[in-house]
Amino acid sequence: MKGYLLFLFLVLFFSCKDKTISSGIEVCGVKDPIHNLPWLKAMIVDAKANKQENILTVRMGKIRDEVVFDFNLIYMSCLGCVAYHCDGSRVDPSKYTPDEMMDFMTTIRGDGAKGPVLWPQ
């Protein structure tokens, strides 16, 4: 019984390390984009300052094999239309085909969403 309790304690202890999705992702030339992409970190800080961190979701997807970050506040009426490239520039949906945008939308939204949620952590 003591062995079982010790095993359970060790499992719980080692599972408490920082295992957020963002901390395990290396993308855009950095590891942990939420903390290491200055423009994205600034947007999270701004959301916190405006008491919006609880209604914010940041997801990662791809368009034409390029990493794109979807920045969504729950009250926004347009899903997927506030997205950013790795350099922090806004994605212009008019530069992509409807099929490319649909693929991006299924990556970041819906039941079959494939893109990881970076925020909330």
* 14-64 pLDDT per residue, tens: 343 334 455 688 999 999 999 999 999 999 999 999 999 899 989 998 889
Q: How confident is the model at residue 7 (pLDDT cuts 50, 70, 90)?
A: very low
Q: Which of 2-11, 43-52, 84-93, 94-103 has the lowest mean pLDDT?
A: 2-11
Residue 5 lies in a domain: no
4 assigned to some structural domain: no
Which among 102, 31, 3, 95 has a CA at the least distance from the CA of 61? 102
- How confident is the model at residue 92, as a pLDDT? 92
CA separation, residue 112 to residues 14, 58, 65, 116 (Å):
30, 17, 18, 11
In a domain, residue 7? The reply is no
Eight-class DSSP state of 116: P
Could you tell me the pTM of the whole model? 0.74
Which residues constitute the domain of residue 50? 19-119
Domain-located, residue 73 = yes
- The answer on pLDDT for 100 being more than 50 is yes
Q: Which of 92, 66, 70, 90 is nearest to 79 (CA)?
A: 70
- 85 is a domain residue: yes
Lowest mean pLDDT among 2-16, 32-46, 58-72, 101-115: 2-16
Query: How many structural domains compose the chain?
Result: 1
Sequence-distant (≥ 6) Cβ neighbours of residue 46 within 8 angstroms: none
pLDDT at residue 111, as a whole number: 65
Q: What is the mean pLDDT of residues 60-77?
A: 86
